Structure formats: C-alpha cells, structure tokens
Amino acid sequence: MHKVSIPDHIAARGRLQRGGKEFIFDQLDMSKVAHVIVDLQNGFVAEGAPVEVPVAREIVGSVNAIAKAVRAAGGINCFLRYTYDGKEKLPWNVWFQNYMSPTQFDIMTAAFARGADDWQLWPELDVQVGDLVVDKTRFSALIPDTCDMDQMLKARGIDTLIITGTLTNCCCESTARDALQMGYNVIFVTDGNATLSDEEHNATLLSMSAIFADVMDTNRLLGLIEASASARAAA
C-alpha cells in the first residue's frame, strides 16, 4: 500500500478554506452517492500487464469493502473501463500519435480494445447485478462524447462521487478534477487509489486535499457511510 504523506501546511490550507473543518462531509445522502471505480482492469492490475500497477492489487480489498457498503446503503457503484476505440466519434489522435511510440501504440490499442483480455475488469472485483459498468476513451470519465457516465449518474440524481482505482495521478485524478468542476462533490480515498510510486500518489493527494476533494481513508469513509445510513433510517 502507498505510504501517504500530506504535509501539515497543505492540510492547513485545506482546513482554512473549509473554515477550520478537518473534513468536508460529516453526513451523506447515500441515494445520491456513486462510488466510481476507475480502470481496475487486467491490463493495469495483473502481474506483467501492459501498464502493471502493483499497488493496484493491494487496494482491491478496500475497493470491494467500499462497494459493498455503498450498495447496502442505497448508493451506486460505477466500474469504469479504459477503452481504445479506433472508430470513436472524437479520435484521440494527439495522444496516440504524438505521445507514444509506434510500438507502445500497438501495445496499448491491442490491450484496451473492447473484448481483449487486458480490457476486462479484474476478476477479484465485487461486481454485482445493479452496478454500472461504463467504458471511457479518455483519462477522465467526464469528457463529453467519450463516456456516458455523467448522463447516467445525473439521470439517477447523483451529486457525490467517491473515487477509487488506478492510476491515482492519471485517470483517477483527471476524473476527480472534472467532477468538481461539473458540479459533483468528490471524496478521494487515500488507500483506495494506486499508482506507480508513493511520490506520484502523494502529489495527487496534495492537490485533492487542498482544492478538489474530501480526502480520507477507507476506514473513515466506511464509518461515514454507516453513520449516514443509520441517520437516514432513524429519520
């Protein structure tokens, strides 16, 4: 698991913005919460995968625990799949042609084409009937005409996203940043996201905690979900 390190002066800046509060949310309306599980696919999680993220295997237990709690409390789980679609409406030529070699292009497009083994969700994920499985062709799941997640969540009245998955500093961070700017509340889970190094993981957590999200670990989040569900039941 990543060793989390958020300097005191960054944490203090976030508290100042929130009027002294350590965390943004002390209660959630779970009927309006979606747990967004970003790209936990074979091509990122498996040993020897094209984009192997070893820590991703270590966060699956936390991700599943959150998914179970969200489901039980009346929220939605949305599993994202990073996808290469050569026939998409808005081809991402700038990324595939300018930012990677021809060899890397061949590896990535084959691995994440629909139906490929590497494109499939990691088999140890707890995916149940009623959960959403949504494909995206960009790092962020909120780029218009490249993913249907925004429309699907808004149709269900969702206003808060819990972000877990991989890579912390790429698809997870991109989705979280866009989510805030598109009107969603964002919770970013410190031990529910994974990337290639502690340095990259913590760099994202600094930005998330200072500006973009309520940053917390799995234990705190599970307690928040349980307390919120209990409060609603009592009401």
More confident residue, 64 or 233: 64
Band the pLDDT of 17: cuts 50, 70, 90. Answer: confident
Could you give the dihedral angle defined by the CA atoms of residues 156, 162, 167 and 173, in that order, rounded to the nearest 10 degrees? 90
Give the start-to-end residue ranges of the domains of the chain.
28-234
Res. 12: pLDDT tops 90: no
Are 194 and 167 contacting, i.e. CB atoms less than 8 angstroms apart?
Answer: yes
| Residue 231 pLDDT | 76
What does the mean pLDDT of the chain come to?
95
DSSP letters for 69-125: HHHHTT-EEEEEEE-B-TT-SS--HHHHHHSS-HHHHHHHHHHTBTT-TTTSBPTTS
State residue 11's pLDDT score: 87
Report whether pLDDT(235) > 70: no
Bridge partner list, 35: 77, 162
Count, residues in the chain:
235
CA distance 106 to 129: 34
In this structure, the strands spanning 132-136 and 76-82 are parallel
Query: Residue 138 contacts by C-beta under 8 Å, 6 or more apart in sequence?
Result: 92, 146, 147, 174
Dist CA 125 CA 209 (whole Å): 27
User: Using CB atoms within 10 A of its CB, is residue 205 exposed (0-12), middle (13-18) or buried (19+)?
Assistant: buried
- Mean pLDDT value of segment 46-65: 98
pLDDT at 232: 75
The whole-model pTM stands at 0.95
Q: Is 29 exposed, middle or buried (0-12, 13-18, 19+ CB in 10 A)?
A: middle
Domain 28-234 matching CATH 3.65.10.10: the answer reads no
Checking if the pLDDT of 234 tops 80, the result is no
Q: What is the per-residue pLDDT for 16?
A: 85
